């Protein structure tokens, strides 16, 4: 797929830390319960750490106790791209940023969480940047 934000690999390596690059550009996964946003309850907007595109909002974040931030719906259905992932001997649905193609995590359905969509977008904290909103 062609992305609105398309940079050569060398530029991504310069702009991202080695761990950000491993997760965002090589579809890696951060260790469970280590990400900065796993337990965050701050009100705000979660954007792609690689390109800044808005992805999720705090009002759709919920506690799934899975070790990664979980959301039940993206901010906009066109904000993310869903791709079949058959790696690691299983079939999953990978979630990527629709603006730059960076790996965010995976989405799961039918797990029984009491959310409006019955979906769990299991997203790596390192793929996100939270911008708090001020109540006013």
Name the residues annotated as catalytic: 122
Give the contacts of 106 (CB within 8 A, at least 6 positions apart).
85, 92, 93, 94, 95, 121, 122
CA dist 46 → 2, 11, 14, 86, 111 (Å): 23, 23, 22, 27, 23
| Residues in a beta bridge with 131 | 45
CA 35, CA 47: separation in Å to the nearest integer?
Answer: 15
């Amino acid at each position: 797929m062609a992305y609105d934000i398309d940079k050569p690999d060398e530029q991504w390596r310069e702009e991202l830390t080695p761990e950000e690059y491993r997760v965002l550009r090589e579809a890696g996964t951060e260790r469970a319960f280590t990400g900065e946003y796993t337990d965050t309850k701050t009100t705000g907007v979660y954007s792609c750490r690689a390109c800044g595109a808005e992805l999720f909002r705090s009002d759709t974040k919920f506690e799934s106790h899975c070790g990664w931030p979980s959301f039940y719906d993206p901010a906009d259905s066109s904000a993310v791209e869903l791709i079949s992932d058959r790696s690691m001997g299983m079939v999953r649905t990978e979630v990527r940023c629709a603006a730059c193609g960076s790996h965010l995590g995976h989405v799961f359905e039918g797990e029984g969480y009491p959310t409006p969509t019955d979906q769990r977008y299991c997203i790596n904290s390192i793929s996100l940047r939270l911008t708090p909103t001020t109540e006013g």
